[in-house]
């Protein structure tokens, strides 16, 4: 597994999530649990998965009460089995109860993204060891940095973080510019590599001739992907430069292997973030 990126700052997000959940306070806990009561608990995995965002799980409790102690037992990016204890907590019972839902929401979401990503990566690399699995900007508003971090924990590679991160000319850009050649010429002014989305072999040829550095092969069938990759390779050999290929569009766990087998350099999958189910985790109090 490659080195993981640094976990994005999460303090303001944790604070906002707690404000959203707390309102004027945790009524049930305040009424039922004494101010001096202490407790210990575990974070339990009910299904297999991949760890991501567990430091944020811990940060929720520390923000509520710095006396809470959280010991994380699953390193970020590490796979775990059903029944695994991912963290142990001890401290004021009120803080543990009040923070439980917010902390689990973060952990379940990010572990879910990492786990789905790992499944896609494994399925793709069974057919092509060198292919990269990319995420997209199809993320939950305001959670993009965390969700892309979770993708990296799962073995994926982050694509554009923001619109200012890279040049990617898509179909509506082409319509606005008038042609592939015009769009690429205009995009060159930015001084960055230019990627062009193409929908058929004719557009692929136009993008290659226009000087694209990368081509995004959108909604190509596996058979058409193979033809496109072969065409790009022939172009690269004649031009003495390498244009990279990216497959995208409706890629599923069932189809990602066939995409990878076409020989593309990378595959972008919106489902890594927009369709990842929350992983089944629970926080259980332990009886002393």
Q: Is the pTM of this model over 0.75?
A: yes
Distance CA 116, CA 133 (A): 12
Handedness of CA 250, 251, 254, 260 (dihedral sign): positive
Distance CA 136, CA 148 (A): 9
Beta-bridge mates of residue 132 = 266
Q: 210: Cβ–Cβ under 8 A, 6 or more apart, which residues? A: 180, 181, 183, 184, 185, 196
- Give the 3-state DSSP-derived string for 30-76, with helices as H, strands as E and coil as C: HHHCCCCCEEEEEEEECCCEECCCHHHHHHHHHHHCCCCEEEECCCC
Per-domain residue ranges for the chain? Answer: 11-117+277-286, 123-274
Give the pLDDT of residue 241: 82
The H or E element spanning position 108 is helix 93-125
Give the pLDDT of residue 223: 95
Ramachandran sector of residue 132 (left: φ over 0; alpha: ψ -120 to 50; beta: rest): beta
**If one looks up domain 123-274 in CATH, what number appears?**
3.20.20.70
Indicate the SS3 state at residue 3.
coil
| 217 contacts 204 by C-beta, under 8 angstroms | yes
Instruction: From first to last of the 288 residues of the chain, give the pLDDT tens digit.
Output: 457 888 999 999 999 999 999 999 999 999 999 999 999 999 999 999 999 999 999 999 999 999 999 999 999 999 999 999 999 999 999 999 999 999 999 999 999 999 999 999 999 999 999 999 999 999 999 999 999 999 999 999 999 999 999 999 999 999 999 999 999 999 999 999 999 999 999 999 999 999 999 999 999 999 999 999 999 999 999 887 899 999 999 999 999 999 999 999 999 999 999 999 999 999 999 866
- Both tokens of residue 206? 């136009």
| 195 contacts 168 by C-beta, under 8 angstroms | yes
Environment class of 83 (CB within 10 Å of its CB; exposed 0-12, middle 13-18, buried 19+) = exposed
Beta-bridge mates of residue 284 = 42
Strand duo 244-248 + 214-218: pairing: parallel
The H or E element spanning position 125 is helix 93-125
Classify domain 11-117+277-286 at the CATH topology level: Aldehyde Oxidoreductase; domain 3 (3.90.1170)
Give the pLDDT of residue 284: 97
| 260 contacts 132 by C-beta, under 8 angstroms | no
Distance CA 159, CA 162 (A): 9
Distance CA 134, CA 250 (A): 13
Distance CA 161, CA 156 (A): 14
Indicate the SS3 state at residue 234.
helix
| 50 contacts 153 by C-beta, under 8 angstroms | yes
| Catalytic sites, residue numbers | 101, 138, 170, 197, 218
Match 């092509």 to its residue by tokens.
128
Give the pLDDT of residue 31: 96
């Amino acid at each position: 597994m490659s080195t993981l990126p640094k976990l994005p700052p999460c303090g303001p997000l944790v604070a906002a999530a707690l404000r959203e959940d707390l309102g004027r306070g945790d009524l049930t806990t305040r009424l039922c649990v004494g101010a001096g009561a202490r407790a210990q608990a575990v974070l339990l995995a009910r299904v297999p998965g991949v760890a991501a965002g567990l430091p944020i799980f811990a940060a929720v409790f520390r923000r509520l009460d710095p006396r809470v102690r959280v010991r994380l037992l699953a390193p970020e990016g590490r796979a775990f089995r059903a029944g695994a204890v991912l963290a142990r907590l001890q401290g004021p019972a009120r803080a543990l109860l009040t923070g439980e839902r917010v902390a689990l929401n973060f952990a379940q979401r990010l572990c879910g993204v990492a786990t789905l990503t790992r499944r896609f990566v494994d399925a793709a690399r069974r057919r092509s060891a060198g292919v990269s699995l990319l995420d997209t900007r199809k993320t939950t508003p305001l959670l993009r940095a965390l969700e892309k971090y979770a993708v990296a924990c799962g073995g994926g590679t982050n694509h554009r973080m923001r619109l200012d991160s890279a040049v990617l000319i898509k179909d509506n850009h082409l319509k606005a510019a008038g042609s592939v050649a015009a769009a690429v010429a205009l995009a060159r002014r930015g001084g960055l590599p230019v990627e062009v989305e193409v929908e058929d072999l004719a557009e692929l040829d136009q993008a290659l001739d226009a000087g694209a550095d990368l081509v995004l092969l959108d909604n190509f069938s596996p058979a058409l992907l193979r033809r496109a990759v072969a065409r790009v390779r022939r172009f690269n050999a004649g031009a003495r430069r390498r244009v990279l290929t990216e497959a995208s569009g409706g890629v599923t766990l069932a189809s990602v292997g066939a995409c990878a087998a076409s020989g593309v350099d990378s595959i972008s999958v919106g489902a890594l973030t927009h369709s990842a189910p929350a992983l089944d985790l629970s926080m259980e109090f332990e009886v002393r």
